[in-house]
Structure 1
Amino acid sequence: MGAVADDVAATTTAISRAIEACAAAGGGRVLIPPGRWLSGAIRLRSGVELHVAEGATLVFSTDPAHYPLVATRWEGVELINYSPLIFADGERDVAITGRGVLDGQGQAWWSWSGGHRFGWRPGLPDQRKARQALFEMAERGVPVAERIFGEGHYLRPMMVQFQNCANVLIEGVTLRDAPCWTLHPVLCRDVIVRDVRVFGHGPNTDGCDPESVESMLIERCAFDCGDDCIAIKSGRNADGRRLARPTRDILIQDCVMKDGHGGVVIGSEVSGGVDNVFVRRCTMDSDQLWYAIRFKNNAMRGGRVENIYVRDVSVGRVSRAAITCDFNYEEGAKGGFTPMLRKVRIERMRVRAGAQAVDLQGLPLAPIEDFQIKDCQFEGVTRPSVVSHVTGLTLDRVEVNGRAVAAL
């Protein structure tokens, strides 16, 4: 295909030409054969499958110059920034498949987070000033075309981002060490992520972040992450309300979660709302997993989250609470937008060791509503549960450390 191992320009050009040729022919498969291939940004087109064969490793350049500026979304806000490592916008029938590896070489980017443990030291550049500037632009309603970042701003690119796409498949591949979020479908419809493995312990290296997505299946995947394993989102603050695109109809099943801030998480960028999430037959287990099921929101975000169903989840260890909701996340109670969480059903969860069973904290003017925990067992609990500003909490056949409880 004209690619040359460890030659960024040759490989990027060869892959791009193959993708364009397939698209021009009405669709096809672009094969990454066994070997180590160093590439810059890859942009997929409609009808094209990028197939990373078993034994192939597609290694992404750490030079920001290899990632042109594109219209994208970063932490729930639209902007012009570095292209994700693999990117598609406005396409349909697109796929990444195979048993090969996508290596984001994220360690080279992680210091931009400003975190000491990721290599940042005083005098080195970081994202913090640009991140705040972006959020302020969004709150002021600055047009997206004028929110230009990239060089000199240090906002890390996402690894794989499909945006405004329909009929997306990501299957079989292993993804490791993303610069920032790993799998990030945005404003997409009909997405499948199946038999995928995600590894990466950098800052904000979430495993999969569906954002303003409609109809998505995540199944038989494994996550071992430096942040949330799966985090469902719908835009941050003013930008999320401006687009007003909820995430809805998400099925997560037969997945394995190890390290992470949460196994299945909704938030915090949920200003557009989240409806109809189903989680079943998942296994979560690690001393470095903070929570199994986590909701996070605040009065700056707002957004309605409802119809959340969790069944048959097996939890070995979590270091904090098995189930948590925090409406005081980050900015906390300040702000004029009401976070809403209601109609949550958690059934047949078995927890072998978790410091807390439940930590549910709504706000005085925004209580958590209609939350049912049924036929669940929590073992190894060392701290009492916290329930604050919750109306309609129902327990049915719930045990904590072998004792049936009627209240938490």
Structure 2
Amino acid sequence: MSGSRRDFLKVSGLVAAGLLATPGVALAADPWDAVPGILARIKPPTFPDRDFLVTAYGAKPDGSTDNAAAFRKAIQACTEAGGGRVVVRGGVFVTGGITLQSNVNLFVDKGATIRFHTDPKKYLPVVPTRWQGIECLNYQAFLYANNATNIAVTGAGTLDGQGQTWKPWGGGGGSWTQLQKWGADNTPVAQRRLGEGHKLRPNLIQFVECTNILISGITIERPPMWSVHPVKSRNITVSGITVNSRGGGGNNDGVDPECCTDVHITDCTFNTGDDCIAIKSGRDVDGRRVNMPSQNIVVENSTFVFSNRGAICIGSEASGGARNVYARNCRVNPANAADQLWYVVFIKTSKYRGGTIDGVHFRDITANKLTKSPVFITLNYSGSGNSGPVSNPTVRNITVDRLTVAGSKEYAVEVDGLAASKVSDVVVSSSTFTAISRGANKISNAQNVTFPNTKINGKPA
């Protein structure tokens, strides 16, 4: 870490504690100064004022007809015309996989539902994808795009994944074991062919190597796995969506940007069966091969209703690293009901991941009645497994400012590093933790962890 960055963390901690006045003190730039520039770069795509109703191409909103061909025809017509909206309006439209093309906005109107078919064969042939951070060829996501520019899913309608029908596939069994082996052995991606006969559940929305993405207004229900999964993409806006992923197929994360640059997640509501937001960048040997970080990500003004893991997470698939991640003005368990969420901040990786997580900043977040420690940073994540040689990660420069937590069954802050790779430079400032069962922090294998102007159960941290 540069000397100037270390000096900023130390000096800013003293300022927050009221121990050092700011006039006349030359400070390094506040990391939050980068946020306006990031947001200025993120520009949602716009589309020509042309509508293509799926019903005009043979779609029937009767809840039983397979409308895959009608969606395909409408999207193709929209593309050939130079772009516009493919409109879904009035009723329940059953379909298999939908593939978006450049300059297409899939508009699902209020009162309309796209209900995805439960037959896995409807999501073939296999396509380039990532499954838990390892590249392969597998079932396409229910809503998929590859190498597209200017794409969107908008409207006040619903995407229903009927994910409960995929739940018996579990964690993938032997197929997941095989994929991990392929990743560890550097088997060429073209040879990592899965799909039919295998049990690796698809995501609901996955856009791979796309540019200029907008996902806005929609409600997502019961995905088979992760809900929204942009991969190796840039200029992404996720705005005003509601994710109700409980009751799906398992591992039902909300929004998981992986190896993505310039991402804005705002005004969203999460009620998930796993992590709400999980920032990822590949797994182990295969993630380090791709070596692409997730970076310049802003999360704000969002509500986290339920998660049996974390509200805002990094990892555990973080082998490409993460940097310049910001989250602010969010509410975690605002209903103040017990056992709704585990963590507010959850940074998780392991000695097999590698990668550098550097510059993660949280401020102005409130949380209630958490099951676990509000802030948990671990380099010993038990769910990481072992798919390759040891490659210790680096985690540093984490700030948490003005976090208010009322209730935790464990500690206030847990930092759990490795002897071979200590977590460094963590500042939790101007924060208040009350009703913390263990009444303390738990810090191991870490350095420069400070708590200026922070109280736990009424006492200085």
Instruction: State the TM-score bracket (shorter-chain normalisation).
Output: over 0.9
Deviation at 1:224, TM superposition (A): 0.6
AA partner of residue 158 (structure 2): V
Q: Which of 242, 253, 278 is 2:326 aligned to?
A: 278
AA partner of residue 232 (structure 1): I
- Unaligned residue ranges in structure 2 (runs of 5+): 1-55
Deviation at 1:288, TM superposition (A): 2.6
Root-mean-square deviation over aligned CA pairs: 1.3
- Match for residue 210 of structure 1? 257
2: CA distance, partners of 1:380 / 1:38: 48
Residues 83 and 157 of structure 1 are in contact (CA less than 8 Å); yes or no, is this contact kept in structure 2?
yes
Once the two structures are superposed, the pairs formed by residues 332-343 of structure 1 within 5 Å of their partners are 335-343=389-397
Once the two structures are superposed, the pairs formed by residues 64-83 of structure 1 within 5 Å of their partners are 64-68=120-124, 69-83=126-140
Q: Which of 72, 78, 87 is 1:16 aligned to?
A: 72
Once the two structures are superposed, the pairs formed by residues 50-69 of structure 1 within 5 Å of their partners are 50-68=106-124, 69=126
1: CA distance, partners of 2:378 / 2:197: 34
Q: How big is each residue's C-alpha offset from its partner over 1:223-246, in whole Å with a ceiling of 9 and x where there is no partner?
A: 011100000000001111111110
TM-score (norm 1): 0.94
* 1:263 has 2:311 as partner: yes
Deviation at 1:386, TM superposition (A): 1.3
2: CA distance, partners of 1:204 / 1:76: 13
Once the two structures are superposed, the pairs formed by residues 49-198 of structure 1 within 5 Å of their partners are 49-68=105-124, 69-113=126-170, 127-198=172-243
Residues 8 and 40 of structure 1 are in contact (CA less than 8 Å); yes or no, is this contact kept in structure 2?
no
Deviation at 1:332, TM superposition (A): 7.3
Larger radius of gyration: 2
* 1:364 has 2:419 as partner: yes
2: CA distance, partners of 1:396 / 1:34: 55
* 1:252 has 2:299 as partner: yes
Residues 63 and 91 of structure 2 are in contact (CA less than 8 Å); yes or no, is this contact kept in structure 1?
no
1: CA distance, partners of 2:370 / 2:101: 41
Q: Secondary structure at the match of 1:336?
A: coil
Higher alpha-carbon deviation: 343-352 or 284-293? 284-293
Going from structure 1 to structure 2, the CA distance change for 1:60 and 1:396 (only over 3 Å counts) comes to: same
2: CA distance, partners of 1:332 / 1:376: 34
* 1:293 has 2:348 as partner: no
Deviation at 1:354, TM superposition (A): 1.2
Segments ≥4 residues shifted beyond 6 Å:
none
- Match for residue 41 of structure 1? 97
- Match for residue 457 of structure 2? 401
- Match for residue 27 of structure 2? none
Q: How big is each residue's C-alpha offset from its partner over 1:19-52, in whole Å with a ceiling of 9 and x where there is no partner?
A: 0111111111000011011010000000000000
Q: How big is each residue's C-alpha offset from its partner over 1:316-349, in whole Å with a ceiling of 9 and x where there is no partner?
A: 1210010001111135799421211111110000
Q: How big is each residue's C-alpha offset from its partner over 1:95-150, in whole Å with a ceiling of 9 and x where there is no partner?
A: 00000000000000012116xxxxxxxxxxxx211101101101101111111111
Q: Secondary structure at the match of 1:349?
A: strand
* 1:6 has 2:63 as partner: yes
2: CA distance, partners of 1:317 / 1:91: 42
AA partner of residue 146 (structure 1): Q
Residues 75 and 101 of structure 2 are in contact (CA less than 8 Å); yes or no, is this contact kept in structure 1?
yes
Residues 8 and 61 of structure 1 are in contact (CA less than 8 Å); yes or no, is this contact kept in structure 2?
no
AA partner of residue 262 (structure 1): G
Q: Which of 403, 407, 415 is 1:353 aligned to?
A: 407
1: CA distance, partners of 2:88 / 2:291: 38
Q: Which of 254, 262, 269 is 1:222 aligned to?
A: 269
- Match for residue 432 of structure 2? 377
Higher alpha-carbon deviation: 333-342 or 79-88? 333-342
AA partner of residue 356 (structure 2): R
- Match for residue 23 of structure 2? none
Residues 317 and 352 of structure 1 are in contact (CA less than 8 Å); yes or no, is this contact kept in structure 2?
yes
**Identical columns (%):** 38
2: CA distance, partners of 1:93 / 1:71: 20
AA partner of residue 207 (structure 1): G
Residues 345 and 375 of structure 2 are in contact (CA less than 8 Å); yes or no, is this contact kept in structure 1?
yes
Q: Secondary structure at the match of 1:65?
A: helix
Q: How big is each residue's C-alpha offset from its partner over 1:280-323, in whole Å with a ceiling of 9 and x where there is no partner?
A: 00000152311110000011101100111100001112100100
Deviation at 1:8, TM superposition (A): 4.5
Deviation at 1:6, TM superposition (A): 3.0
Report the count of equivalent residues. 392
2: CA distance, partners of 1:8 / 1:152: 26
Residues 299 and 332 of structure 1 are in contact (CA less than 8 Å); yes or no, is this contact kept in structure 2?
no
2: CA distance, partners of 1:92 / 1:7: 32
2: CA distance, partners of 1:6 / 1:72: 29
Residues 44 and 86 of structure 1 are in contact (CA less than 8 Å); yes or no, is this contact kept in structure 2?
yes
1: CA distance, partners of 2:208 / 2:352: 25
- Unaligned residue ranges in structure 1 (runs of 5+): 115-126
AA partner of residue 253 (structure 2): D
* 1:329 has 2:381 as partner: yes
Q: Secondary structure at the match of 1:312?
A: strand
Q: Secondary structure at the match of 2:121?
A: helix
Q: Secondary structure at the match of 1:228?
A: coil
Residues 414 and 443 of structure 2 are in contact (CA less than 8 Å); yes or no, is this contact kept in structure 1?
yes
Deviation at 1:268, TM superposition (A): 0.4
Deviation at 1:385, TM superposition (A): 2.4
AA partner of residue 432 (structure 2): Q
Residues 365 and 403 of structure 2 are in contact (CA less than 8 Å); yes or no, is this contact kept in structure 1?
yes
